[in-house]
Amino acid sequence: MGQDTRLLIAEEAGAVVTDFSGNSLSRDTSKFVASNKFLHKELLNMVYE
């Protein structure tokens, strides 16, 4: 299963998926965060600690 398929499944399940800066993903994105809408900002902050 490719990365695009996994991301689509996560988003369809209600996950928020962004790069480490909180931006939408592009084909060049190699690292990303996927979580629910309640924890996403907290996880992004943890990336920068």
Domain architecture of the chain: domains with CATH = 3-47 (3.40.190.80)
Dist CA 17 CA 12 (whole Å) = 11
pLDDT band of 1, cuts 50, 70, 90 = low
Q: What is the pLDDT of residue 22?
A: 94
Q: What is the pLDDT of residue 28?
A: 86
Is there a contact between 34 and 24 (Cβ–Cβ < 8 Å)? no
Q: Could you tell me the pTM of the whole model?
A: 0.79
Q: How many CB atoms lie within 10 A of CB 38?
A: 8
- Whole-angstrom Cα distance, residue 17 to residue 14? 9
- Give residue 23's pLDDT: 94
3-48 pLDDT, tens per residue?
Answer: 778 888 989 999 999 999 999 988 888 888 999 999 999 999 998 7
HSE of 43 in the Cβ direction (CA atoms, 13 Å)? 16
